Amino acid sequence: MRGLINHPFLRYCVVGGFGFAADWSVLQACVRFGGMTPVTGRVVSVVVALTATWLLHRWFTFAATGRANLLEWFRYMLANAVGALVNFFIYTALVHLWPEVGLTVPLAIASIMALLVNYLGAALFVFRKNRTV
């Protein structure tokens, strides 16, 4: 499938779709079955979704960096912290300001807004190959 989608941004978006599904599923489980509030459930769902997308990006979106897995995971989490904060604050604001739409619409809007921030962090910081100087 990687050969069918040539540009890394498009592959990034495909992985993002899987990340959104993981985020949504975990959020729904936390709220409906775990008794969490929508905001607390979202904290859990963001961590799960970020870990899942890091694994998929390593395999599908970007070439190997040469870094140790733990270091790369940490860099991914750090780079995506900004995007996650953007995502989380937009989601939280929309849940409180627009409660009648449920959880999916705020989640989708927040995720789209954070897409560019996360892609740039991944491409320029996390998965950039080590350079020999």
Give me the pLDDT at residue 106, please.
Answer: 95
pLDDT along the chain (133 residues), means of 10: 76 92 97 97 92 91 81 91 90 96 94 88 87 50
Structure tokens given for 17: 């779709």
CA-nearest of 81, 132, 87 to 109 is: 87
Give me the pLDDT at residue 107, please.
Answer: 92
Structure tokens given for 20: 């959104």
pTM over 0.85: no
- Domain coordinates in residue numbering, the chain: 8-126
Give me the pLDDT at residue 133, please.
Answer: 41
